[in-house]
Structures are given as structure tokens and as C-alpha cells.
Amino acid sequence: MSATTENASALDSALGDYLAHLRVERGLSANTTTAYRRDLARYTAYLTTLGRTDLGAVGPADVGEYVTALREGSDGGRALSAASAARALAAVRGLHRFAQAEGLAVDDPSARVTAPSQHRRLPHALSVDAVARLLEAASAGDTPAALRDRALLELLYSTGGRISEVVGLDVDDVTHEDAVVRLLGKGSKERIVPVGSYARDAVDAYRVRARPVLVADGAGRSTPALFLNSRGARLSRQSAWAVLQRSAERAGLAEHVSPHTLRHSFATHLLSGGADVRVVQELLGHASVTTTQIYTMVTPDALREVYAAAHPRAL
């Protein structure tokens, strides 16, 4: 066995143990674990080219040079934005902290490496009018698919749920009487979110008039999933994306609209209406209020508007 193969084997073993730790002990979802695997496979491949035999042989300079390689693409991979490189560095830090805790390394060489600076951008949110047009466009016609699409988008906007959380709902997760929905978020953390009357009515119409048709079209397939595709199986995230894109095109929305756009709109509209930021944090399922506070940032245009309207000598 060559030295390079031995190096790769030791690093791959450490990586495998860390991913198992994330999945089993920390309860991270399959999607999140896959993202960690992708980021860290690039890192261990880079360490292998440096001749590092294991994580204990890695120094701060190695980690710092790797961050530079990520930004420039000099390791042979795609050059990353500052935000993506910072995310990759966070994964690297988790791996080294794990190695130190497990006795695979004496210290954490990533602790003193700073993440690339990045400009903090305001999340893109639709106006209330644009959201209304989008939701109306989803229900073009009275077909089972149209009823499903309207219910799906109404629920996304009403709850601020992630697309994976909403397509993962089962029928029993939404109750009209309690007017709440149980969403299973990152790390398998469950949260209870209120559902507005528009979304409740849309979901009820879908469940009564459309879902039984989709089940029947699926040759009697039995599934607890709330949102179904034309084959009677659970609607995928990709299909839900397509529903949103079609609706945005029909609504004539020029800007890019993604499922996260509805989540951003949910948070922005709540805060604009006077909701407390910590309440919005709970509704979004953010672990830290710092993540939610980005929605409270005021744009220069908004500052100018308020100044022009309020200052006696502004004009």
C-alpha cells in the first residue's frame, strides 16, 4: 500500500467516524450529513495531497491555506464565495473539534483560522401584493394538482417552513381544530407553528377534494404523506420547487422566487407587522436569535424614506 493510500485511509476513517457521530449522536438529517460529507471529502483530499497522515498532523497553516484554496479553486475544485467557504470552514472546525475530543489530535488547528469576510445581504422577500399574486396563480383551474399547489404554497407562506419540512408533513400533522402544524426541522427538532385561516382552508379543500383523487390515481397506494404527486406518492422537494416556479411565471413575477423566498417573506412581513424578533425566531426554528436578526436590518432606501417623511428640513 502506498503512503498516499495509507494517508487517505486514516483520514477517511476519521471522517467516517465523525459523520456517524453527526448522524447518530447529534441526530442530524440525511441531507445535512450529506452536505458535511461533501465539504469534508474535499478537505481530506486536500490534506492527502499535502502528505498529512492523520488529523493530528494538521497545522493551522494547512487549514488557512485550504480556505485560500477554496476561494481561488487552486485545489482543483470549484472556487467558492466567501459565504460558501465560511460554511466549509465551519465543517472543518467541527471535524477537528471531534478529533481532539476523541484523542485523535492534541489540539484543534482550525481554532485560530478566521473565516473569509463576507458582505451581509438582506434576504430577498416578496411584497405582500406579490405573495398574493403568487398564491392566486398557484390555483389556476380546479384540478387536483391546482388544489394541491395552492395548499402547498399557502402552507409555506403561512408557516415559514422550509420546503423539506412542508413536503415531509403527514396528514395528521395539520389539524384544523388546533390551527397548528408540527414541523420537523434541522436536527430532528420539532416545533409547533400556527396556521392562518387561508392556509387551513386551502389544505382542507385539498384534503377533501384532491388528495383522494391522487391516491386513487396512484393505484391505491397507501401513504400518510400530506402532499402527493400524480402517482400517489409523497411529493418531492424538486417537484415542489417546480410548483413554485410555474406559479411565479404565471403570476408574472420578474424576480427569482425560491421556497426560501417565501420563508424570508414570512419573517419580513411578521416583523414589519410588529412581531417580536424572538417570536419569529421560534417560528422559524432558528437555534440563535442572531440568525433571525438579519431580518431586522434596515436598508438605506428605507432609512431615506423615513428621514424624508420625518425630518422637518429633509426636503
Given the residues 21, 23, 186, 207, the one annotated as active site? 186
260 catalytic residue (yes or no): yes
- CA dist 55 → 20, 104, 155, 187, 295 (Å): 17, 7, 45, 26, 39
Given the residues 26, 260, 278, 304, the one annotated as active site? 260
198 catalytic residue (yes or no): no
Residue with cell 395552492: 150
If DSSP codes are grouped into helix, strand and coil, which group holds residue 191?
A: strand
Q: Which of 14, 32, 13 is nearest to 23 (CA)?
A: 32
189 catalytic residue (yes or no): no
Q: Which of 275, 14, 253, 309 is nearest to 135 (CA)?
A: 253
- CA dist 199 → 126, 224, 246, 269 (Å): 18, 20, 19, 16
121 catalytic residue (yes or no): no
Given the residues 162, 200, 211, 264, the one annotated as active site? 162
286 catalytic residue (yes or no): yes
Helix H or strand E encompassing 20: helix 3-20
Given the residues 42, 211, 263, 264, the one annotated as active site? 263
Neighbours of 143 (CB within 10 A): 13
Question: Dihedral of CA 85/86/91/95: which sign?
Answer: positive
Residue with cell 492527502: 48
Neighbouring C-alpha atoms within 13 Å toward the C-beta of 81: 5
Q: Which of 177, 210, 168, 172 is nearest to 195 (CA)?
A: 177
Kindly provide the residue ranges of all beta strands, DSSP E only, lying in 275-314, ordered along the sequence. none
Q: Which of 92, 93, 88, 94 is nearest to 118 (CA)?
A: 88
46 catalytic residue (yes or no): no
**How far is Cα 255 from Cα 63, in angstroms, rounded to an integer?**
38
DSSP secondary structure string for all residues of 115-176: PPP---PPPP---HHHHHHHHHHHT-SSSHHHHHHHHHHHHHHHH---HHHHHT-BGGGEET
* Residues taking part in catalysis: 162, 186, 260, 263, 286, 295
